[in-house]
Amino acid sequence: MTSAQVANEVSAYGYVQRLREYHSRGALDSDAYMTELVGSVAEPLIVAAKDLYPQTTDWNWEWHLADTGEINAYCMPGGRIIVLSGLLSDQVLGDDRDMLATILAHEVSHAILQHTRESMGRGWLAQGLAWTMAKSLKIGALREQEMVKDLKLAFLDPKSRILEAEADVLGLELMSRAGFDSAKAVATWEHMAEGTHSNVQDVMTQRAMAFLSDHPSDRDRLARMKALQPKAAPLAAKGKHWDWAVQGISDQQADILDKVAGAFGLGASRFSITERQEIAKRVAQVEGIHPRQAAEELDKALWETGLSQGGAIQMGLTAMVRGVGGWERLERICAAWAKSNPSHALYQDPAQATRLNLSDTDRSLALSGMKRVEAYLNSDRFIVRLWRDVASEIGKTRPKAAEAIRDWLQSGMGNPASNGGRAGQ
């Protein structure tokens, strides 16, 4: 009842208006860590969507984070994704990528299945019928509004659960194909609903309830997802190759990545355990080993977890590639950087970028990309995530060490604010 072109144009207009509003409030992509987190989930889902539905390759895919505190996420027709920051608060999903993938895959599925277009058509039909009936029956404006409401309910409500079920099924497949843990799908919706049964409803709970009102979570739905999950799980193993920092990059790209990462502050020197003497000493003390051995084991755990799929350092590398506009430009920056014989990394002396043999555009993107990475590395949640993951990794063999790291984080020593704001200090 609504053409794809009309649905796309209406949604595009609404999307632009929302972006302008968020930008005017200083809320658009303003949280460096959460912005990269959203990207680390949205981009694999986009690749999975394009692979499964080739017609979406021509969509103008893009994604943003709006730091409004509201709990919501949506994907409009054409692949326009927005995540509202309340969804990523500690009381809701936190920075759990699999949980966020559950929500985003569901929303992307609505767009792929053209549910917005379908609902739009039904809504317009209901409004048109109400207007026609009101005029023929010669009833007042108030009664006409009531009729519109009743007709919309009649047209849309019976379909809402069907549309939600369709989005759940495809969403489960999408998140699995993108390499995320489909077992988290049921847990995510259950977790979202937990707070809504409390007698004490704070602001965050009320917002969660508002979100869930559009995403009915009943027993049938959870039972259906539990039944489908074992079939979706094997798809994740095939999907991990889409995460370029884990697999799929050439030796040349790996070399470029290694060189430019150091310039942007993502090199080994930035995260050297030797600069974290205190935690190495704590680990050595509780485990009864030499501090040097503790530092070596921490170093290994840090890089293993930091460069894993969705790891804290890996997200920084992705931010670097994204920030400069792709591999080709990164390669040019790398070549110019190598010829300049720099005495300091770019993040330590940004003025050096003005002396690199680059075009104005490349030089500008090199600087903006560096600033983007710096903002990410200096965010409180980056440090917490990095060391929290280190604790989990080293805890596989040294549980006392893991506990020491968590105590250290709890004390605030892992917060960049207490370290002068530098991720590597």
DSSP string, 44-83: HHHHHHHHH-GGGGGS--EEEEE-SS-EEEEEETTTEEEE
Are 210 and 157 contacting, i.e. CB atoms less than 8 angstroms apart? no
Residue type, position 335, single letter: A
Residue 118: inside a domain? yes
Q: Encoding tokens for residue 224?
A: 């259906």
Neighbouring C-beta atoms of residue 116, cutoff 10 Å: 21
Residue 233 lies in a domain: yes
DSSP structural state of residue 28: B
Assigned token pair, 361: 């555009």
Return the closest-CA partner of residue 148 out of 171, 120, 129, 175: 129
Stated as kind and residue range, the H or E segment containing 273 is none
The token duo for 247 is 């697999």
Residues paired with 85 in a beta bridge: 71
Residues 235 and 267 in one domain: no
Domain holding 32, by residue range, is 4-241
Please classify residue 89 by burial: count the beta carbons closer than 10 Å to its beta carbon, then call 0-12 exposed, 13-18 middle and 19+ buried: middle
Are both 127 and 20 inside the same structural domain?
yes
- What 8-state DSSP symbol labels residue 419? G
Asked if residue 195 and residue 226 are part of one domain, the reply reads yes
Do residues 208 and 265 share a domain? no
The answer on 51 and 172 residing in a single domain is: yes
Q: CA-to-CA distance for 391 and 297, rounded, in angstroms?
A: 11
Single-letter code of the amino acid located at 308: S
CB atoms within 10 A of CB 150: 12
* CA gap 48, 239 in Å, rounded: 8
Q: What are phi and psi of 357, to 5 degrees?
A: -80, 75
| Same-domain check for residues 161 and 14 | yes
Map residue 85 onto helix, strand or coil: strand
Residue 168 lies in a domain: yes
In a domain, 328, yes or no: yes
Number of domains in the chain: 2
**DSSP class per residue in 212-281:** HHTS---HHHHHHHHHHHHHHHHHHHHHGGGSTTTS---HHHHHHHHHHHHHTT-SGGGG-GGG-HHHHH
- Please report whether residue 389 resides in a domain: yes
Same domain, 109 and 190: yes
Contact status, residue 201 vs residue 210, Cβ threshold 8 Å: no
Please tell me the predicted confidence (pLDDT) of residue 10. 65
Query: Within the chain, which residues score under 50 in pLDDT?
Result: 121, 124-126, 129-131, 133, 151-152, 155-156, 158, 196-200, 246, 414-425
pLDDT of 308 reads: 84
- Asked whether residue 152 falls in the same domain as residue 19, the answer is yes
Last residue of a domain, one of 185, 219, 241: 241
Say if residues 83 and 65 touch (Cβ distance below 8 Å).
Answer: yes
Cα distance between residue 208 and residue 191, in whole Å = 10
Domain C-terminal end among 212, 241, 270: 241
Q: pTM for the whole thing?
A: 0.80
Q: Which of 241, 266, 281 is the last residue of a domain?
A: 241
CA dist., res. 325 & res. 366, Å (int): 9
The reply to whether 302 and 383 lie within a common domain is: yes
346 shares a domain with 387: yes
**Do residues 122 and 156 make contact, with C-beta atoms less than 8 angstroms apart?**
yes
- Closest C-alpha to 75, from 104, 44, 41, 43: 104
pLDDT at 239: 65
| Residue 287 and residue 216 share a domain | no
Shared domain check, 349 and 207:
no
Q: Would you say residue 424 lies in a domain?
A: no
Per-residue burial over 126-144, b if 16 or more Cβ lie within 10 Å, else e, is: bbebbeeebeeeeeeeeeb
User: 3-class DSSP state for residue 146?
Assistant: helix
User: How much is the pLDDT for 155?
Assistant: 46
Measure the CA–CA gap between 252 and 265, rounded to whole angstroms. Answer: 20
Residue 131 Cα distances to 2, 45, 120, angstroms: 18, 41, 17
Has residue 261 been placed in a domain?
A: yes
Residue 246 in any domain: the answer is no
Three-state DSSP at 84 gives strand
